[in-house]
Amino acid sequence: MSTELGKIAAKARTDGKLRFTSLTHLLGPEFLKETWKQMNRYGASGVDGETIRDFEKDLDGRINDLHGRLKAGRYKAPPVRSVDIPKGNGKTRPLGIPTVEDRLVQRAVARILEAIFEADFLDVSHGFRPGRNPHQALSALRKCIMTGKVRYVFEADIRGYFNHIDHGWLMRMLRTRVADPKILRLIEKWLRARAIENGVVTIADEGTPQGGPISPLPANVYLHCVLDTWFERVGKKWFRGEAHLIRCADDFVVCFEYKRDAELFHRSLVEGTGKFGLELAGEKTRLLPFGRSAREDIAKVGEKLETFDFLGFTHVCGKDRKGRFAVIRVPSKKSIRKFLDRIKQWLKAHMHWERRNQQRHLSSMLRGRYQYFGLYHCTAKLADARVAVQRQWAWAIWSC
């Protein structure tokens, strides 16, 4: 079945306007079993309380039954279990947890859509794509600042992006490539799936449910059409100088050579996002001088350049050990605060564990942080985080 996906991907690359009318037949028992092997074995249960192990007890029977309902168009998307997870500054964001069976179907459909839309996605996009990750986005950003004619950086934030995606626009975008009615109906069912939180049922009329395997791809398609395509194929024709867009999911920054180009982009972005039901967060959207030339200009008047945050890192115009210009990246204050808050919440919920098991889990959380933030200038901040975790653990033990 992977060969079938390869054929679809090849057709999508060959013909950029081809619409796929027959895709449901791919959701056969073999494809579903193959998809099952790729699923997260530690995912939480949905509203029905069923676990991965429960579903796996009669895997062949469950998959055959599921295939029959999908083939007949009788599959119904069950409600998702809604939970709030910490976002920082005391805020939370909703996360929808589908049932195990629904996760399987979502992942299977996501694989099919991924094979099609990967042919369309541009190199400026790095989030939730096979073979791409945030570190590549960070590397691309550093490269364009270090080697390009960058004098300004425009950073923006779309207010509640995942919660404000317009369903009508999204389906129109998906239909440019997908014409299979059963696949489209499945996506519409997931977009409008009921959410249950503390016994209260809500139905969304906009936004994409976060937490399911299908949610990242439609969100990527939306910004591909709203932002990426416009920037690369329209905006660059207007700009006088260099301009580079770097996007990872809904986080993005744009590097410019000229201030006029950045201001033109800002006006167009406000208009374009508004047309598609989105809104820029004014307090988090700004244009700042940044880069080699900007650093030299600011130094002449005895001032310092501002910094900006992207993907958990604070970016600073500095110098390397030989005194040459360099982009310095260190963990941002926000990312440090969120990590320590997560440690604190985990300790509160797991003080009944044995000390040895607590140590193992805390070490695992620290290793994950080291792996993401393990850049040259981050050593001191990572050491500080380790000391802070030790203090929190000691305080939690003492408080028991």
Task: Express each pLDDT in 304-336 by its tens digit.
Answer: 789 999 999 999 998 888 888 999 999 999 999
Average the pLDDT over 36-65 and give the result.
Answer: 90
Flag whether the pTM goes above 0.85: yes
Average the pLDDT over 22-37 and give the result.
Answer: 94
CA-nearest of 257, 268, 246, 288 to 153 is 288
SS3 326: strand
Per-residue b/e over 200-223, b at no fewer than 16 CB within 10 Å? eeeebeebbbbbbbbbbbbbbbbb
Is the pLDDT at 91 greater than 80, yes or no? no
113 CB burial (10 A radius; 0-12, 13-18, 19+): buried
pLDDT at 311 (0 to 100) = 96
* 381 half-sphere exposure, CB direction, 13 A CA radius: 24
Average the pLDDT over 377-384 and give the result.
Answer: 94
CA-nearest of 126, 170, 120 to 278 is 170
- Cβ(207)–Cβ(218) under 8 Å? no
pLDDT at 283 (0 to 100) = 86
Is the pLDDT at 75 greater than 60, yes or no? yes
pLDDT tier, 89 (very low <50, low <70, confident <90, very high otherwise): low
Host H or E run for residue 327: strand 325-331
Query: Alpha-carbon torsion 212, 217, 222, 226, what sign?
Result: positive
What are the residues facing 243 on neighbouring strands?
256
pLDDT at 295 (0 to 100) = 78
pLDDT at 357 (0 to 100) = 95
Long-range CB pairs of 373-380, under 8 A, 24+ apart, other chains included? 373/312, 373/313, 373/331, 373/335, 375/313, 375/329, 377/328, 377/329, 377/330, 378/329, 378/330, 378/331
Q: Which residues contact 279 (CB under 8 A, 6 or more apart)?
A: 158, 159, 164, 273
Tokens standing for residue 265: 């982009």
- Cβ(145)–Cβ(253) under 8 Å? no
Residue position matching structure tokens 């990312």? 335
DSSP 8-state secondary structure symbol assigned to residue 44: P
Pairing mode of beta strands 80-88, 194-197: parallel
In order, the DSSP letters of 258-288 are -HHHHHHHHHHHHHHHHHTT--B-GGG-EEE
Distance, CA of 129 to CA of 220 (rounded, Å)? 9
Distance, CA of 244 to CA of 232 (rounded, Å)? 9
Helix ranges (DSSP H) in the chain: 2-14, 29-36, 52-56, 59-72, 100-117, 134-147, 167-175, 181-191, 216-223, 229-230, 236-238, 259-275, 292-300, 333-349, 355-373, 379-399
Tokens standing for residue 362: 């805390």
User: What strand order describes the sheet that includes 251-256?
Assistant: 243-248, 251-256, 152-156, 286-289
SS3 166: coil
Is the pLDDT at 387 greater than 90, yes or no? yes
Distance, CA of 226 to CA of 275 (rounded, Å)? 9
- Cβ(319)–Cβ(326) under 8 Å? yes
The model's pLDDT over 190-219, given as tens digits with 9 standing for 90+, comes to: 988 777 666 655 666 777 878 889 999 999
- Cβ(54)–Cβ(41) under 8 Å? no
The model's pLDDT over 126-184, given as tens digits with 9 standing for 90+, comes to: 999 999 999 999 999 999 999 999 999 999 999 989 888 999 999 999 999 999 999 99
In order, the DSSP letters of 65-91 are HHHHHHHHT---PPPEEEEEEEEETTE
Distance, CA of 121 to CA of 126 (rounded, Å)? 10
Q: What is the mean pLDDT of the chain?
A: 91
pLDDT at 20 (0 to 100) = 96
The model's pLDDT over 259-309, given as tens digits with 9 standing for 90+, comes to: 999 999 999 999 999 999 999 988 889 999 999 888 777 766 667 789 999
